[in-house]
């Protein structure tokens, strides 16, 4: 291992490769900040450049762009509630409320520190445990992946307010239903397309998330009554006062265990092929909401620093973890790593168990460059926060049209189809209606993200087990994950009754 680290340091600290890390981090960060573009777009843009470089430099450049885009994706989520990347949807739940409270500087700083910590801890875990974790990820079957998706759906409990559990579950079902629209990839049958050619490929995630978050937020701002002069003044002060970037000692103490737990959880989820940073961020958010207790748990969704730190840490750790199946098994864990796999094969390199023996310079230089890249990202981004946060100082009459413009153009540039714009407006109007009726939208996005993967793994599991549902209890790992999922969903629902029973018992004891 020490020999490998030395090889990695020698390769990564080569002045040319170091320049590629810096450039990759910068390009990735700025592409990640733009609503509608994400790691996949960023890496796809880099392929022509990387193809002209030697393998180590090319993979280092693409890896830097990858975690740079994940790092920068939180900015648009926090400032304008426009999470253009699936893995930063959970970041907007508490990041955007903090920005509205005049704490944009602190929100961006916490996101930067959490991203850095998740990336560095993930890189250390990758270094130590890559070969062993590759064997663990191979032991996961389709039945276990299905159970993992079910566990991911239980995060719905974290997004439901007091007494809103039924509404949250209903919205999750709506998300699962929307994920089935399009062509069945296994049998090639059209489903719920209403005879429209434009729906053959299904509903785009970007379209749905931009409509339900960015566009609906802009429409809600337009619909809100103007209020008194005092209210307008207070709101203007909150936007112009970008807040201190300083994180107090008490907040550091509160966030340290959150970062530790979310890094490990995110990395382990990232290791599993097909799971990825999105599931990691939702699971981390839900886990921390439950661990926070009744008092601090209620703050989630209103500007909780825990609620901001957990998904940001987890998605960066998961991005690092996704390199385990890519480098050690040759299995891409996401669309982004699939592009990187194609680039590696294009170089004539076959990822797999022998990669760190046959091509140690590529294997170790990627891991070492991650440490260097995360340090560079922090150094580059922290000084830029005051300038980035000034986006909120733009008056609402200018900012709202800009949000509308970026939302619509971002979706149009992906498909170049005017039907998507029309569908987006329909979803935005529906989202506004649902928000006015106090229905949470996050569970719908969660159901939509996990729906396709759930269906695919359930179908495989049933095929392997001759259409028998016995796989739910016959395989120990599947049963364990499903048991945790059931407990995770039921305990929050039963907790109020238990607390009521306890209070009644205490009163009866005092009366006696």
Q: How do residues 445-469 score in pLDDT, each as one tens digit?
A: 878 877 887 888 888 888 888 778 8
Pair of tokens at residue 245: 């970037």
- Each domain of the chain, given as residue ranges in start order, spans 1-506
Angstrom distance (rounded) from CA 267 to CA 65: 19
The two three-digit tokens of residue 118, written as one number? 């998740």
- First-to-final CA distance of the chain: 68
Check residue 316 and give its pLDDT.
86
Alpha carbon distance 335, 440 (integer Å): 28
Q: Give pLDDT < 70 ranges for the chain.
A: 1-2, 4, 35-38, 41, 84, 130-131, 133-138, 155-163, 224-244, 273-275, 329-335, 352-354, 356, 389-394, 396, 492-493, 495-496, 499, 509-512
- Identify the burial level of 299 via C-beta atoms within 10 angstroms of its C-beta, where 0-12 means exposed, 13-18 middle and 19 or more buried: middle
Alpha-carbon distance of 107 to 102, in angstroms, equals: 10
CB-based contact 28:72 (threshold 8 Å)? yes
Closest to 238 measured CA to CA, from 84, 384, 107, 404: 107
Count CA atoms closer than 13 A to 203's CA, side-chain side. Answer: 27
- Cα gap 232→221, rounded to integer Å: 12
Write down the pLDDT at residue 231. Answer: 46
Q: Rounded CA gap, 362 and 391, in Å?
A: 40
User: DSSP 3-state assignment of 191?
Assistant: strand
Query: Tens digit of pLDDT for each residue in 221-232?
Result: 777 665 544 445
Average pLDDT, the chain: 79
Give me the pLDDT at residue 426, please.
92
- Rounded Cα–Cα distance for residues 417 and 445 (Å): 22
Range 178-185, long-range pairs (CB < 8 A, 24+ positions): 178/203, 178/208, 178/444, 178/447, 178/448, 178/451, 179/203, 179/447, 179/448, 179/449, 179/450, 179/451, 179/452, 179/455, 180/451, 180/455, 185/456
CA atoms of 322 and 329, how far apart (whole Å): 11
**Residue 127 corresponds to which tokens in the numbers above?**
């270094």
Q: Are the C-beta atoms of 365 and 60 separated by less than 8 Å?
A: yes
Please tell me what DSSP assigns to residue 88: G
């Amino acid at each position: 291992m020490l020999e490998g680290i030395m090889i990695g340091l020698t390769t990564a600290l080569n002045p040319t490769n170091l320049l590629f890390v810096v450039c990759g981090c910068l390009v990735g960060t700025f592409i990640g900040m733009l609503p509608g573009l994400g790691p996949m777009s960023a890496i796809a843009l880099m392929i022509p450049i990387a193809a002209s470089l030697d393998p180590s430099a090319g993979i280092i450049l693409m890896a830097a762009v990858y975690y740079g885009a994940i790092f920068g994706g939180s900015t648009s989520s926090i400032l304008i509630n426009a999470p253009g990347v699936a893995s930063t949807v959970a970041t907007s739940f508490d990041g955007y409320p903090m920005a509205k409270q005049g704490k944009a500087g602190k929100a961006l700083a916490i996101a930067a520190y959490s991203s850095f910590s998740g990336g560095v801890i993930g890189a250390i875990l990758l270094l130590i445990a890559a070969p062993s974790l590759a064997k663990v990820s191979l032991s996961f079957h389709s039945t276990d992946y299905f159970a993992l998706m079910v566990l991911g759906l239980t995060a719905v409990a974290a997004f439901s307010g007091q007494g809103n559990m039924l509404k949250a579950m209903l919205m999750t079902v709506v998300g699962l239903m929307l994920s089935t629209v399009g062509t069945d990839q296994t049998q090639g049958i059209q489903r719920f397309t209403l005879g429209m050619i434009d729906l053959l490929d299904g509903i785009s995630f970007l379209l749905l998330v931009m409509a339900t978050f960015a566009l609906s937020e802009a429409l809600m701002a337009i619909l809100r009554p103007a209020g008194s002069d005092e209210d307008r003044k207070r709101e203007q002060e909150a936007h112009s006062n970008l807040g201190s970037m300083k994180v107090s000692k008490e907040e550091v103490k509160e966030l340290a265990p959150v970062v530790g737990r979310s890094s490990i959880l995110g990395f382990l989820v990232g290791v599993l092929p097909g799971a990825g940073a999105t599931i990691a961020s939702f699971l981390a958010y839900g886990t921390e909401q439950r661990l926070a207790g009744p008092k601090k748990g209620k703050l989630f969704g209103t500007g909780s620093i825990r609620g901001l730190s957990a998904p940001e840490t987890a998605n960066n750790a998961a991005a690092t973890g996704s390199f385990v199946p890519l480098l050690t098994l040759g299995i891409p864990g996401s669309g982004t790593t699939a592009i990187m796999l194609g680039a590696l094969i294009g170089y004539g390199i076959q990822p797999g168990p022998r990669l760190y023996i046959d091509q140690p310079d590529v294997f170790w230089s990627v891991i070492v460059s991650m440490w260097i890249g995360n340090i560079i990202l922090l150094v580059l981004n922290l000084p830029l926060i005051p300038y980035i946060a000034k986006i909120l100082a733009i008056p609402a009459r200018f900012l709202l049209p800009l949000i509308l413009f970026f939302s619509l153009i971002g979706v149009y540039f992906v498909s170049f189809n005017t039907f998507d714009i029309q569908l987006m407006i329909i979803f935005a109007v529906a989202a506004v209606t649902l928000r006015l009726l106090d229905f949470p939208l996050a569970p719908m996005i969660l159901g939509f993200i996990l729906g396709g993967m759930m269906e695919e793994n359930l179908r495989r599991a049933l095929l392997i087990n001759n259409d028998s549902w016995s796989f739910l209890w016959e395989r120990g790992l599947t049963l364990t994950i499903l048991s945790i999922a059931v407990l995770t969903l039921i305990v929050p629902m039963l907790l109020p009754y238990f607390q009521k029973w306890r209070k009644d018992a205490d009163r009866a004891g005092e009366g006696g």
